[in-house]
Structures are given as structure tokens and as C-alpha cells.
A and B are shown apart, each in its own frame.
Chain A
């Protein structure tokens, strides 16, 4: 849409320039006509005027068609003014200064200054001085020179001021447009953020509901597995005691039955199966717990949070996004609790992890890539680095990666909101999000968060 407007603007500008040129040609023709009328009957003078004007027509045509394009407006207009005024002065000198000749002075003053007032002022000054001096030398009355010089200066001054007014208006309009654009951008960002917050809240509620639903069966499955395991061990003990007291002739039959059942195998593997089941349940419980911790619904206040724990939680949540693409290595340093809304920070870490995985996937290499998550504390800040061995961010788009809805991903894989949200969230926490990237080597995103928030920033 912006380019269409620009095209329309250019068309309009060309149209107006053509109109201006036409006006000037008409005015010049009228002055010439008036001069010819003034010399009507004095045929020598009439011929001089007619010949001068006839010579000027091809000259002006050349200036308009060739020089204007080659030299630019300022230089060609100066040349045109000098030659035209020179011709007027010459024809005035040879024809006894017919009155309409003086009209060229205000004409030049108006027609000439449309492009650059500064140049027109000095040139106009030189031209006017030249015309006045020449006419006075020719013995013309000084009141003519004075009157028309005044008119020329007045016209030039008026157009200059008008030009200034128009410029100011244009600037104002530009500023307004910039402000409007900024406003739209901000609203868009707020909208995205709001939508994201709502989504997060919905997911949080869902997760917490699901967690409750899953935890109950996990409880009784786990209890039952424990019971089966301990019951089995009790039964084995019982079998051992039977063996000790069983009469010799029965022992052979029992041994055969045991061999058929492969009791030794059961003795070895049943407890292991129970352990496996318990381990699986522990994992389910961990995932459910992470799901609940990740979303943190209803958190509007900043509270101290363990970001290393938040990272561990988010890595569990995001596992399906990266496990077939990259190995994740964590290097979590000793960091103090950070004042934050941890649900939002989780979201930022998740977005960066998903991006890292996508960047590695886009490299289309066979072996697994690597994602490294690092945390470090400085005196007042905690730094979280998420480094990938992906394809890197091209220079051309580095300025746009935080723009809402800017994405290089195909539909369904990205909406262009991940980094925009990450950026806003980190900024709202008084932190900074930055990155370093090298094509085909990888990208490192760094989240820097203040450990303590300034007073008044905890509440949203």
C-alpha cells in the first residue's frame, strides 16, 4: 500500500510541475505579446522584439527537455533566467525600453524561486542590479527601475515565505505519520502480548486441571505397583520357606513345575518390571508437575524465582521440539532467585528453544545439532544464554527479528510472535534481549535480567 501511495504522489507531482510550466509559458507569451503591442507601428523595434523572442523559444525548449534532466533544476533554471533576462535587457536597450519589458523582473522573481530560495535570492539580486544599471545607463527614469525591483523582491520574498510554510506543513504531516505508525506498532505489540497472556492463562488452567486429573490415577497406579512388588517379594519368601520343609519326593515335582514356569526368570525380572513401571510413573509425574509449573496461571506479581529450575521445567515441556534435532547441554551456574513473573520467563525460554531447534533443522544436516543453555550471575544481573549450532540469522533481517508478525518460517511453523513476545517480556522485566549470530555456525540469544526490580515495577 505504501508503494502505491508513493506512485500516486509522484504522478501528482509531475502533473503539478507540468501545470506550473504551462502557466509560466502562458505568462511569458503574454509579456512578449504586450511588448509587441507596445512597439506596434515602430517596426524596427517590433522586429527586434519578435526576433529575440523567436530565438528564445528553441533555447527554452532545450533547457526544459535536455538540460533540466542533465543538470538538475537549479543550474538549468539559473541559466534560463540569465539568458532570458539578458535577452530582455538587450532587446530593451535596442528598442528604447518599451514598458512591458519591465514585467520580466517580477516574472523571473516568481517563476524562478520554486526550487531553491537561497540561490534565487543571490541570482535575483545580480539580475535585478544588472537590469536596473543597464536601464539607468540608457537614461530610463529611475522610478521604473525602483518600482519593478520592489515588485520583484516582494514576489520573491512572498514565495519564499510561502515555501517555508508549506515545508513546515509537510514536516508536521510527516511527524504525525511517524507518530501514527509508532502508535500502530505499539498497539499491535500490546495486542499480541494480550493474546499471548490469555493463551498462557488458558493453557495454565488447562494444565492445572489435567495435572489434577492425571495425578490421581498416577497415585493409585503407583501404589498398586508398589503393592504388587512387595507382595511378590513376600510370595517368593513364602516359596523359599515351602522349599525348606517340602518332603524329598515332592521336591522333584515342584522343581519341575518351577522349571516349567521359569520361576527363576520371574524372581529376577518381576521386581525389575515393577521398578520400570515406577520409574515411568515418576516421569509422568515430573512432566505433569512441569506442565503446571510452566504455565503459572494468575501470576500478576513478580516474585523471586529459581531460573535454573524454570529452565529445567521448560526443557521437559519443550523436549518433543528438540529431541530429534539436537542434544541439549546445560551449564547452569549458581544464580540467586530473580524477581520475575516466572510463567512469562518460561515462555521466553520456550520460544528461544523452539527457535534454536528450528534453526538447526533448517541446516538440514544428518547429525544432531547442539543447544547449550547457560546461566551466570553478575553483581546485579542474571544472564541466560541459549546457543544453537543452527544456520544463523542473515544480516538482512537482523533489524526485523523482533518485529511482531515478522517471520521466515512457513505457515504453521511460526507466526512471527515468538521473538516479539520474548523481547517485550524481557523489556517489561527491565532486562535486555540480545543475540550474536554467524551464518552456518549458529546463534546465541542472551537474556539479561535484573536480580531485583526497581520499586513500583513489580505490579503490572
Chain B
């Protein structure tokens, strides 16, 4: 069985590291990739197929919505999730057309797992 490839994008390294630790339990079924910022994420995606992208919204340079719309265009089969600290109406409006699901920070680990599993 091939492992699902999950790409997690955030401008905050601590968030990435702690998610890596948290999701380590699932290492036998998921292959976790991490990118600091949208540019790095796109570079990572060019290197190989990614099944699920989980991205923050507010990031310097390219924000989450822009990243996801690019992903939607270039890799339409990739599932797109948002994990954002300000999941308010504005974010919803910006991302509802490009994201499959929006999770708000702080997010319960089980909820995050379920969202990735369901992808």
C-alpha cells in the first residue's frame, strides 16, 4: 500500500514541527512533507505528487488562498485544506471556492486527522 503524501504549509516553523510530531503516529500510512511558505510548497509539489495540501491562510508573499488556487489549477486531483488562525467570514469568502475544507486554529488533533483521512 502506498502512503498518502500530505504537504503541510505554514510560515511558522514551530507549527510545522509540532504537527510533524503530532502526526508521527500516522507515519506508517502518511508521508508527511513540510513547506515554510507558499513558494516552497509549490517547489515541493513540482518534485512529486501530493495527495493532500494543508495550508495556513496568512503568510508573507503568497497567501493560502492564492496558493490553493494555483494548486487547484495545476494539480486538480490534490485535496486542499485550510488550517487558519482567523477562520472568519473573510477567510471563508476568500477560500470557499478553492478549499475543500476549512479548519480553524487551534484545531483538535483528532479533527485534523479525520479531515486528512477523509480527503
Highest count of chain B CB atoms <10 Å: which of A216, A217, A292: A216
B12→A220 contact, CB < 8 A: yes
A216→B18 contact, CB < 8 A: no
B106→A218 contact, CB < 8 A: yes
Question: Nearest Cβ in chain A — how far from B114, in angstroms?
Answer: 15
Q: How many residues of B contact A (CB 8 A)?
A: 21
Could you count the A-B residue pairs with CB atoms below 8 Å apart for me: how many are there? Answer: 60
**Contact for A217 among B14, B19, B25, CB less than 8 A:** B14
A218→B18 contact, CB < 8 A: no
Q: List 22 A-B contacts (CB under 8 A).
A: A208-B88, A212-B86, A215-B85, A215-B104, A215-B106, A216-B15, A216-B56, A216-B85, A216-B105, A217-B14, A218-B106, A219-B107, A220-B12, A220-B15, A222-B106, A223-B18, A223-B19, A226-B109, A227-B21, A227-B22, A230-B25, A292-B88
B15→A227 contact, CB < 8 A: no
Cβ of A50 < 8 Å from any Cβ of B? no
- Nearest chain B residue, comparing its CB with the CB of A221: B18
**B contact set with A: CB distance below 8 Å:** 12, 14-15, 17-19, 21-22, 24-25, 56, 58, 83, 85-86, 88, 104-107, 109
Q: In the complex where A218-B105, A218-B106, A226-B109 touch, is A208 in contact with B86 (Cβ < 8 A)?
A: yes
Q: In the complex where A227-B22, A227-B24 touch, is A220 in contact with B14 (Cβ < 8 A)?
A: yes
- Nearest chain A residue, comparing its CB with the CB of B110: A226
A227 to B27, alpha carbons, bound, how many Å? Answer: 14
12 further interface pairs, Cβ-Cβ under 8 Å (given A208-B86, A211-B85, A215-B86): A213-B85, A214-B85, A216-B56, A217-B14, A219-B106, A220-B17, A223-B19, A223-B21, A223-B109, A224-B21, A227-B18, A227-B22
- Say whether chain A's binding surface is mostly helix, strand, loop, or mixed: helix
Closest 6 CB pairs of A and B: A215-B85, A223-B18, A227-B21, A220-B18, A219-B105, A212-B85
B18→A212 contact, CB < 8 A: no
**A contact set with B: CB distance below 8 Å:** 208, 211-224, 226-227, 230-231, 281, 285, 292
Question: Nearest Cβ in chain B — how far from A127, in angstroms?
Answer: 86
Q: Which residues in A have their C-beta under 8 angstroms from that of B86?
A: 208, 211-212, 215, 292
A222 to B104, alpha carbons, bound, how many Å? Answer: 13
A213 to B12, alpha carbons, bound, how many Å? Answer: 11
Question: Nearest Cβ in chain B — how far from A213, in angstroms?
Answer: 8
Highest count of chain A CB atoms <10 Å: which of B19, B56, B88, B104: B88
Question: Nearest Cβ in chain A — how far from B40, in angstroms?
Answer: 18
A231 to B18, alpha carbons, bound, how many Å? Answer: 13
A226 to B109, alpha carbons, bound, how many Å? Answer: 8
A313 to B14, alpha carbons, bound, how many Å? Answer: 30
